[in-house]
Copies of this chain bind each other. A is one copy, B any other.
Amino acid sequence: MSTPARILIVDDDALVRLGLSMMLAGVEDLEVVGEVADGTEVFGAVNEHRPDVVLMDIRMPRMDGLAATERLRARRDPPEVVVMTTFDTDEHILRAMRAGACGFLLKHTPPEQFVDAIRRAAAGEPIVSPSVLRRLMSYVGDLSNAAADPRRERARRALERLSPNELAVARLVGEGLANSEIGRELSMSVATVKAYVSRLLTKLELNNRVQIALLVHDAALEE
């Protein structure tokens, strides 16, 4: 990068702001272009200084960093936002991701890594501290187990063996509709709906419509 990356520091603690600018002052390809103490001041400062990266504290008076991040990222051509905090609770991390932050750093990260991370952020890379990444990974690991849920797989395969009409009925049973409602919805007599339900029970080896509903939901066929 030819011109240094422009940094805006947002933190209610003057000491932290000072420490941060000191830390970044000695880095040639990073330039601190502004400091503000409050989420509400961010927007004006961004307009004025056009930073590439905003270093955002989470815990601030008036408007917290997450809300500010969200509003910032909603703009056209938003700066990258790196959220900083002292403690890495799952809550914080998740909400920061959702708010659109490109990174999440712990304040006690060693200066060298800290600077490096900001540099990467300026280049558009996503960044997180190692401890955060570890959480992220185990989180995803857990969830991917859920995604590959064998129950869901079995449910899917079972439902794939149904005719379109049978599937339609199964879906509506899964919505909690009564036979009469299903009949109205699909333009068939109650007797026919019952016959479908009955055949579904046989085919899927289930005992009652509740289990059909549960199966349909396990298969996640809502879309």
Contacts and interface: CB of A to CB of B under 8 A. Distances in A.
Interface of A: 93-95, 97-98, 120, 125-128, 130, 133-134, 136-141, 143-145, 147-148, 173-174, 176-178, 206-211, 213-214, 217
Nearest to A147: B94
A152 to B, nearest CB: 13
A94 B137 contact: no
Nearest to A132: B126
Quickly give the copy total for this chain. 2
A134 B130 CA distance: 15
Nearest to A100: B141
A27 to B, nearest CB: 18
Contacts of A173: 210
23 contacts: A93-B140, A94-B140, A94-B148, A95-B144, A97-B141, A98-B141, A120-B130, A125-B133, A126-B130, A126-B134, A126-B137, A136-B136, A139-B140, A174-B214, A176-B206, A176-B207, A176-B208, A176-B210, A176-B211, A177-B210, A178-B208, A213-B214, A214-B217
A126 B120 contact: no
A98 B144 CA distance: 7
Contacts of A137: 97, 126, 128, 136
A155 to B, nearest CB: 13
A191 to B, nearest CB: 19
Contacts of A143: 143
A207 B148 CA distance: 33
Given A133-B133, A174-B214, A178-B208, 14 more contacts: A97-B137, A97-B138, A98-B144, A98-B145, A125-B130, A126-B133, A126-B134, A128-B133, A128-B137, A136-B140, A178-B207, A209-B210, A214-B217, A217-B217
A58 to B, nearest CB: 15
Contacts of A126: 130, 133-134, 137
